[in-house]
Structures are given as structure tokens and as C-alpha cells.
A and B are shown apart, each in its own frame.
Chain A
Amino acid sequence: MTEPGLYHFLFISAALFFIGVYGFFTRRNLVTMLMSVELILNSVNLNFIAFNKYLWPDRLDGVFFTIFIIAIAAAEAAVAIAIIINLYRSHQSIDVENAEELKF
């Protein structure tokens, strides 16, 4: 059992990212799509942390960036959930197809 290196982290991060993208593309439920977006954001966070730790261990830029993204993700989740609740109130459903009328 060897010590995990940078590539392990990057592998997990890439896997999380594509799982998130796949989920975002395929789910019909808006809450699930929101969760997928969170996965994507977290994969990015993992990337930042990993690079920070392995490449510039004496600096904290990556950590700061991660905290920043977590804050933004929280705000984004609040806005997204507000939109979803409004959609539910008007359509009694949180299916993404209901939002299709927001076109030209």
C-alpha cells in the first residue's frame, strides 16, 4: 500500500467531475441536477487542494480558493433552490422539462 500521490487525487477529481457532468446532462429532476453541479464544484475544490499540497506546500492560495468556492456554492444552492421552489409552486413539479417554456 503506497502513499497516495497527486495523480490519485487528480483521478478522483476527474471522475467526480464527469460523474457530475453526466448527472447534469441526464437527470430530469432539478434537485438531482443541483446535486450534480455540487459534485462538479467539489471536484474542482479537490483539484485545488491537491495541487496546493503537492506542488506548493508552503503556500495557501489553493486553500483560500477552495473556501471561496464553497461560499459561492452555498449561495448558488440557495438561489437554485429558491428557483426550484418557485417552479414547484407554479407547476407542482420539479421536472426540468417544465422550465422549457422559458424560451424565445
Chain B
Amino acid sequence: MLNATYIALIPLLPLAGFIMLGIFGRKYFKNTSGVIGTALLLASTLLALYTAYGYFFEYGRVEGVYQKLVPLKYTWLEFSRGVSIDMGIILDPISAMMLVVVTFVSLMVHIYSLAYMKGEERFPTYYAFLGLFTFSMLGLVVSSNIFQIYIFWELVGVSSFLLIGYYYDKPSAVAACKKAFIVTRFADVGFLIGILILSFYSGTLDFNTLIATLTSPESTEYKNAVTASFLGVSALTWGLVLVFVGGAGKSAMFPLHIWLPDAMEGPTPVSALIHAATMVVAGVFLVARLFPVFAISSPAALGLVGYVGAISALIAAVIACTQTDIKRVLAYSTMSQIGYMMFALGVSGYGGEEGLGYTASMFHLFTHAMFKALLFLGAGAVIHFIHSNEMKDMGGLRKYLPITHITFLIACLAIAGVPPFAGFFSKEEILLAAYQHSPTIYWIALITSGLTAFYMFRLYFSIFWNKEHHPHSGHHGEGGFAMMMPLLLLAVGAAAAGFIPFGHFVSSDGKALETGFHLQFSIAPVALALAGIFIAMWMYRRQNDKPEKIAASLNGLYKAAYHKFYIDEIYMFITRKIIFNLIGRPAAWFDKHVVDGLVNLTGDGTEMISEGIKRIQSGKVQQYAVYFLAGVIGLALLFIYVWK
């Protein structure tokens, strides 16, 4: 049965781990902290599975419709009647699904890190941060209040900052964590303004009430929000677009994606966590959470979501084809897949068959979590073995890392969309939804899926085939049971997750959605994926000079893609040259000369006056007595003659 305590424990157990390991870890749990963190998360995972099972199969569905349950709500801060910040739990299909995804992937990362991070100086701190990260993300997915989600949103930002900058003695890691924090924080300003606009017009911060008021055309709140306009766009659309800006920052959508590749400076299991289950899917989740408002009340904002997603998917796929750092390739592939999820939401409608995009997006989020975690953990095993991130140092590893090789291959097939692996099913649904609603986005998505297959297999062949590997002395194996078990479990997920009838459980209006399999429709994407794989095989299976030749023939495009289309440089130009010179320096001048000047003026003035009058304190007691007497006489005269 529904038990709020169990659900509340899901996020609270990792928090307990964070507090315990964060405060006492380095002193008392030097070696056992990993086991403690993993055990707590295992408990949390089991509770999440129990909750999700209960929700989906026992009490969640009432007359064929999944309800939005609020088993726990505690008013934390009340501004006025109806406007309050609550700490609550919302249980609906997406939050139940996310609970499972987040805890499961996080558990895999915890187990994997037992071996991967072994012997690190700050091992307990690492597990403490992992606990905080998991707690933040779990809190985010169950938030029942838009302000609560904002609080956890920022917590996710902070904990990703801590984890990306885990190797704080490496300057590049420090720069990367600062970049991630600043870029996402910058986007969060948009989110905050969006929250304020939405809550101002709906008169509430509670998700269920907010969605209900802003989607019913009869309510006065809705009319006000639609009629009020700024620059010709309605306030409601502005609010939603600004909320989406926040989501785009966290989800690394173009043009706010620049932090994501740099975030690869963190330990590899952390990248798996950031990319598969937490952080980057937060933006998708946010849009999905507010989806009824987007779909019913503001098609314009939803259209923006769709196009931003599609452009991000394409650009990231093109860049991924040229990168040589394996983690960066994976980072761009994440951005591309998140773009998929975004535009799937963008092309979706609300309710019934129209809501296919919504279901597809959540389905892709689910399957992507499996295969992306698997890819990153596999890449971690490779990096662990080779001690390098660069593709040119790798090759021929299939004999040395057999388990990693097979699981990595499964993940590659899944992400490329080859049947019957998980990615195929979710991608098919996304493409179908795009095909039905927006041909432009459909074509972009189709090209992207071909590119995805190409760059993933470029990665695969470069790591496991290509040139022969010459092992150095001091050879060690794949990393033992703790590293292999998560790979195998995730491989099972990546291979089989596609067979879940996802539409039955998650759909835009809670009713079961029958997602059929359309053979004719799948021909094009599967053919493209296979073509991508074969081109990659032709180019990278054996060591040869084809890649260089092709790169040379595509000179300008290749160079631009290799330099990530110079987006970082554009940002640098805008911040350094324009913002610093035109806004920063004048503001600094004003601060230094006017604001500081006023403060110094009061200080100097006081000092001058006191310098002048301090001689009165002469130390001569009798002089004081004279002053005193004079004062008394003066007062006496005053009272006698003036104020009678």
C-alpha cells in the first residue's frame, strides 16, 4: 500500500549517507565509507522499486487513469493564503519512473566506484558527494511544489560542481567545475524569473494547482496570463520559455551546452551519473512536469522546445564525430540524445494518440539512462586500463577487456537504434511522433540518428579494434567484480528495456497509450543506422589513412566541428570583450569611485571632526569640573529664564 514514510526515505537515505560520511567519513570510515554509501543506496533502490511497483500495479491507476498522488505535504513557508513553499512528494508516472532510474543508475555508479575510486585520498568525501547528488536529484523528481523543485535544482547544481571539481588540484577540473556552475546558474536565473511569472499569474506555487489553473481556459488566472503581454508575447509564454531556459541550462541544450564537455574532468563514474540519471535529464523532466501547461496553453513555447532540442541533437552529433577524447564523444552523444528527448516533448500534443511524443520522450529518457550509464562505465573501465582518454592510445582492446567489449557493443547498438536493443524502440517512437507533427524536425532527427550510429561505432572500433594493443608491463585486468557487475546489469537493461510497454504506464494524460510497432516506418532509420555502422567499420576497423583523407577533404567543416563550431570562443568574445569592457569596467569604476568614495567620505569626515575635538579630553580633572559646572549653570539659566 501507499506509505509516505517509505517514499520519503528514498531521498533521505542518501542524504543521511552524505551527512554521516561528510562529517565523520575521513576520521572513522576511511575504508568502509564506500560500503556504507552503497548499502544506503541499495536500501533506497529497493524502496524505489517497491514504490514504483505499488504505484504502477496496485493503487496508482483509478479507472484506467494514473493519478497524481500527493502522499506527503508539509508547508514550509507560507507567504499568503494559497502561496506557500511546501516540501512534499508527488507520485505520478514520471516521478515513479524517475525514482527507479535515478536510484538504479546511482546504485550502479556506487558499486562501480568501489573499485574504480579505490585508494583515492578523498574516498569518503567522494561517496558523501555522490550521496548528496543522488539526494538532490531524487528530491527534484518528487517535488510537489515549483519552488521545491527550484531548491533541489540548485542542490543538483552544487553537487555537480563539487563532483566535477573532485580533482581540485587539477587546474582544468577547477575551470570545468566553475564553468558548469556558472553556466547552469546563469540559466537558473531564467528559471527563477519563469517561476515568479507563472506563480504570479496562477496565484500558487503548487504544481497540481498551477497546472490546473493554467490549463483551464475559463479561469480568470488563465485569461490574465494570456492577455498580459510583453513584446507581443503573452506572459504565460514568457514564463514557460524562461522556465525552459533553466531546463536548457541543466540539460545542456544549445547554446547553453558549453559546460557539458568540460564536465568530463570529473571522475568517470560521476560522468555516468551526471549524464545518465541526474542533472542533464533534470531539464527534460522539468518540461515534462509542466507539460500540460506547455501543450495546452502555449504551443509557441512548446515549439521552441522542439526546435532547440532538434538543433542541439544535430550540432552535438556533428561535433561528436570529430572529437578524439572518448569521454567527450560520449558527452556530445548525451547532448544529442537529450536533444532527442526535448524535441520529442516539443512535437507532442496533450492526451491520447497526440501524446505519443511525451511517452516517447520519457521512454527514451529511461532507455538512455541504461545505455548511457553503461557507455560511461565501460569507458571508465577502458580508461582505467589504458590510463588515457585519447582514442589514439587505444585500439585492439577486445581481447584484453572481453566483458567491457561485449557490454560496450550492446550499448552502442542500443544508442544507434538497432533492433531489438532498447534505444531502437524509444527512438522509433520519437521519430514517429516527429513525423506526425513536424517534418522539419523529423528530417533533422533522421540525419542525427545516422550520425549517432556513425560516431558511436567510430568510438567502438577505435577502442576495441583498429591497431593492435601492445601491453606494457604491470598489466592488470578489467577491474574485478565490482566494476563488471554494474556493466552486466546495465547491459541487460540496455538490451531488454525496450520491450517494456512503456505507453501503458507513462503517457501525457495518465491513460494507457498503445504504441504500435510500424515495420515500414522503421526501415529508414534502421537502414541509416546500419549505414552509419558500416561506414564507421570501413573507416576505423583497421588502422588506415581513410579518416585523415576524409577529414582533409571536408577541411572547413571538419575543422569547425573539431573546434565545436567555435561556440566557446564566441562566448569568450562576448564575455571578455563586450560584457567586461562595456558593463564590467564602468560598473567597477562606479563602485570604486562613487560607492567606495561615499563610504570613505563618512569615515574621513568622522576622523577629521574627532581629530579636532579630542583636545577637550585633556586629563585635567579640574578642567572637566569647570566644564561640568558651566554646563550646570547654563542649564539652570536655561530652565529659569527661557523655559519657565
Chain A residues within 8 Å of B, Cβ to Cβ:
21, 24-26, 33, 96-97, 99-104
A25 to chain B, nearest CB (A): 5
- Asked if residues A100 and B625 are in contact (CB atoms below 8 Å), the reply is no
Which residues 602-644 of B have a CB within 8 angstroms of A?
614, 617-622, 625-626, 629
Across the A-B interface, give the 5 residue pairs with the lowest CB-CB distance, nearest first: A103-B619, A100-B619, A104-B617, A104-B614, A102-B619
- Asked if residues B618 and A100 are in contact (CB atoms below 8 Å), the reply is yes
- Asked if residues A24 and B619 are in contact (CB atoms below 8 Å), the reply is no
Category for how many chain B residues contact A: 10 to 19
Closest B residue to A101 by beta carbon equals: B619
Set of chain A residues within 8 Å of B620, measured between Cβ atoms: 96-97, 100
- Asked if residues B622 and A103 are in contact (CB atoms below 8 Å), the reply is no
- List 16 other contacts, CB 8 Å, given A24-B625, A96-B621, A103-B619: A21-B629, A25-B622, A25-B625, A25-B626, A33-B621, A33-B622, A96-B620, A97-B620, A99-B619, A99-B621, A100-B620, A101-B619, A102-B619, A103-B617, A103-B618, A104-B614
A73 to B105 Cα, complex, angstroms = 84
Set of chain B residues within 8 Å of A99, measured between Cβ atoms: 619, 621
Set of chain B residues within 8 Å of A103, measured between Cβ atoms: 617-619
A50 to chain B, nearest CB (A): 20
B67 to chain A, nearest CB (A): 77
A7 to chain B, nearest CB (A): 19
- Asked if residues A96 and B622 are in contact (CB atoms below 8 Å), the reply is yes
Write 13 A-B pairs (CB below 8 A) sorted by A numbering. Answer: A21-B629, A24-B625, A25-B626, A26-B622, A96-B620, A96-B622, A99-B619, A99-B621, A100-B618, A100-B619, A102-B619, A104-B614, A104-B617
A99 to B618 Cα, complex, angstroms = 10
Chain B residues within 8 Å of A, Cβ to Cβ:
614, 617-622, 625-626, 629
Set of chain A residues within 8 Å of B625, measured between Cβ atoms: 24-25
Set of chain A residues within 8 Å of B619, measured between Cβ atoms: 99-103
A26 to B629 Cα, complex, angstroms = 14
Closest A residue to B629 by beta carbon equals: A21
B399 to chain A, nearest CB (A): 87
A104 to B629 Cα, complex, angstroms = 22
A72 to B280 Cα, complex, angstroms = 79
A89 to B625 Cα, complex, angstroms = 25
Closest B residue to A100 by beta carbon equals: B619
A22 to B52 Cα, complex, angstroms = 96
A96 to B618 Cα, complex, angstroms = 13
A68 to chain B, nearest CB (A): 21
Set of chain A residues within 8 Å of B629, measured between Cβ atoms: 21
Set of chain B residues within 8 Å of A26, measured between Cβ atoms: 622
Set of chain B residues within 8 Å of A102, measured between Cβ atoms: 619
A58 to B66 Cα, complex, angstroms = 95
Closest B residue to A97 by beta carbon equals: B620
A102 to chain B, nearest CB (A): 5
A21 to B630 Cα, complex, angstroms = 12
A96 to B623 Cα, complex, angstroms = 11
Set of chain A residues within 8 Å of B621, measured between Cβ atoms: 33, 96, 99
Set of chain B residues within 8 Å of A104, measured between Cβ atoms: 614, 617
A100 to B621 Cα, complex, angstroms = 8
Closest A residue to B626 by beta carbon equals: A25
A102 to B621 Cα, complex, angstroms = 10
Set of chain A residues within 8 Å of B617, measured between Cβ atoms: 103-104
A100 to B619 Cα, complex, angstroms = 4
Closest A residue to B622 by beta carbon equals: A25
Set of chain B residues within 8 Å of A25, measured between Cβ atoms: 622, 625-626
Closest A residue to B615 by beta carbon equals: A104
B164 to chain A, nearest CB (A): 56
- Asked if residues B614 and A24 are in contact (CB atoms below 8 Å), the reply is no
Set of chain A residues within 8 Å of B626, measured between Cβ atoms: 25
Set of chain A residues within 8 Å of B622, measured between Cβ atoms: 24-26, 33, 96
A97 to B623 Cα, complex, angstroms = 11
Set of chain A residues within 8 Å of B618, measured between Cβ atoms: 100, 103
A104 to B618 Cα, complex, angstroms = 8
Set of chain B residues within 8 Å of A96, measured between Cβ atoms: 620-622
A20 to chain B, nearest CB (A): 11
Closest A residue to B614 by beta carbon equals: A104
A25 to B630 Cα, complex, angstroms = 12
Closest B residue to A24 by beta carbon equals: B625
A36 to chain B, nearest CB (A): 10
A25 to B628 Cα, complex, angstroms = 11
Closest B residue to A96 by beta carbon equals: B621
Set of chain B residues within 8 Å of A97, measured between Cβ atoms: 620
Closest B residue to A28 by beta carbon equals: B622
A57 to B629 Cα, complex, angstroms = 32
B431 to chain A, nearest CB (A): 85
A78 to chain B, nearest CB (A): 19
A86 to B626 Cα, complex, angstroms = 25
A47 to B643 Cα, complex, angstroms = 25
A24 to B625 Cα, complex, angstroms = 8
Closest A residue to B620 by beta carbon equals: A100
A85 to B621 Cα, complex, angstroms = 17
A21 to B621 Cα, complex, angstroms = 13
A24 to B621 Cα, complex, angstroms = 10
A75 to B482 Cα, complex, angstroms = 83
B612 to chain A, nearest CB (A): 13
Set of chain B residues within 8 Å of A21, measured between Cβ atoms: 629
A55 to B619 Cα, complex, angstroms = 43
B210 to chain A, nearest CB (A): 65
Closest B residue to A25 by beta carbon equals: B622
B134 to chain A, nearest CB (A): 62
A4 to B621 Cα, complex, angstroms = 38
B625 to chain A, nearest CB (A): 6
A103 to B618 Cα, complex, angstroms = 6
Set of chain A residues within 8 Å of B614, measured between Cβ atoms: 104
A33 to B620 Cα, complex, angstroms = 13
A101 to B629 Cα, complex, angstroms = 23
A42 to B618 Cα, complex, angstroms = 29
A26 to B617 Cα, complex, angstroms = 19
B627 to chain A, nearest CB (A): 11
A100 to B623 Cα, complex, angstroms = 11
A45 to B297 Cα, complex, angstroms = 90
A8 to chain B, nearest CB (A): 23
